[in-house]
Amino acid sequence: MSQMSVTDLLAELVAFDTTSHRSNLPLIEFIEAYLADYGVASRRVLDDSGAKANLYATIGPDDRSGIMLSGHTDTVPVTGQTWRVEPFQLTAENERLYGRGTADMKGFLACVLAAVPAMVKADLNVPIHLAFSHDEEVGCLGVRTLINDLAHHPQRPAACVVGEPTSMRLATAHKGKLAVCLKLRGKACHSGMAPEGVNAIHAAARLITWVERKAIEKAQTGPFDERFAIPHTTLQVGVVQGGTALNIVPQDCRIDLEIRNVPADDVDMLLAELMSEASLLEAEMRRIHPEAGIQMERLSAYPGLSMADDEALVGFIVALLDDCTRERIGYGTEGGLFQQELGIPTLICGPGSMDQGHQPDEFVTHEQLARCETFLRRLVIALEASETPALLSKGALA
């Protein structure tokens, strides 16, 4: 088959609407067929519904561990956004390529797929593993079945690069995240008899105020990690839903909140403090109505990622990049799960900027894609080198 360019592949990938609430199987089928054309076998790791899948493949020797290139196939919605261009059709204007997922993160996937012919032709001493996941955008949910699968694999990867958009600068750390939903149940009554009811929105406001105060406290007292642009843990309420009419004391209210913690902060302790506050509030509510209450549901969670700048893997990857900057990013990735659940040293580096990710008229530049292609080309050459296995055994990648 004739080799496809990065732009051609990106156009194919963007054309698949892989918004998280949709199946990603058509895109997975495209990648499977593409890899098969180059003689690369892949395997699906399905979710419970069978409507979504992760995809995993190895290029090179299968009797040893290698470097995994990881990316998610899903995207955030375009609903409610005003796009100047068609979001699921690649549009080229000057140096920019527009479309949903171009930056986050189909640009990286396109670069990896474009490099497959070179990977196959290379005499790799260390294999390259490809891992493409689903449902990253809704709390890094989909990759967990792949992680469970890899946990039982005889040759799990020795290292990982997640291609989230970092403008091709190496990110060695990111914050963890915990998202929870609090459902408050009060007692409805006519607003003219308000003291006889339990106002669920008023109760929720008490907890929202607690979250705000704790966020201010973290900003003032830390713990701090100056490696991050926002060097402390953040808390915020993102969703509030409650009430039916102004003349009815609201019986129900729901609040969704998140905690994004620096590595030194204990997110479970913060959650315990919140639930202690909720328990005191619940006792007050039940003095008026015994069936009032507060329930907590975990929506999603993923751990932070942290690697020291002097780790051998960091030096190995930096040597393959044009930009030697090492940074910490404020958004989360699947990298923390690879590191925590499988013990795989993981770094983040990919084309594009998260300034464009999730935005209308999302784009990646030709220059960013070219830099990613250069990185992957250098990686292939490095993994052909006869000294690379020794590098592995010394712990640079393991």
* Catalytic residue positions, numbered: 74, 136
Report which DSSP code applies to 373.
H
Q: Are 70 and 147 in contact (CB under 8 A)?
A: no
Written as one letter, the residue type at 216 is: I
* Polymer length in residues for the chain: 398
How many CB atoms neighbour CB 43 within 10 A?
A: 12
Q: What are phi and psi of 166, to 5 degrees?
A: -125, 15
Query: Radius of gyration over alpha carbons of the chain, in Å?
Result: 24
- Residues paired with residue 42 on neighbouring β-strands, in sequence order: 57
Q: Are 18 and 99 in contact (CB under 8 A)?
A: no
Which of 282, 143, 106 has the alpha carbon at shortest distance from 206? 282
Q: Are 80 and 6 in contact (CB under 8 A)?
A: no
Residue found by looking up tokens 């993981």 in the block: 346
State the Cα–Cα distance between residues 3 and 329, nearest whole angstrom: 34
Angle at 136 between CA 28 and CA 49, to 5 degrees: 60
Burial class (CB in 10 A: 0-12, 13-18, 19+), 293: middle
State the Cα–Cα distance between residues 363 and 102, nearest whole angstrom: 5
State the Cα–Cα distance between residues 355 and 349, nearest whole angstrom: 15
Q: How far is CA 67 from the centre of its chain?
A: 19
State the Cα–Cα distance between residues 371 and 167, nearest whole angstrom: 9
The 3-state secondary structure of 102-168, one letter per residue = HHHHHHHHHHHHHHHHHHHHCCCCCCEEEEEECCCCCCCCCHHHHHHHHHCCCCCCCEEEECCCECC
State the Cα–Cα distance between residues 236 and 157, nearest whole angstrom: 36
Please give the structure tokens belonging to residue 155: 């040759």
How many CB atoms neighbour CB 201 within 10 A?
A: 19
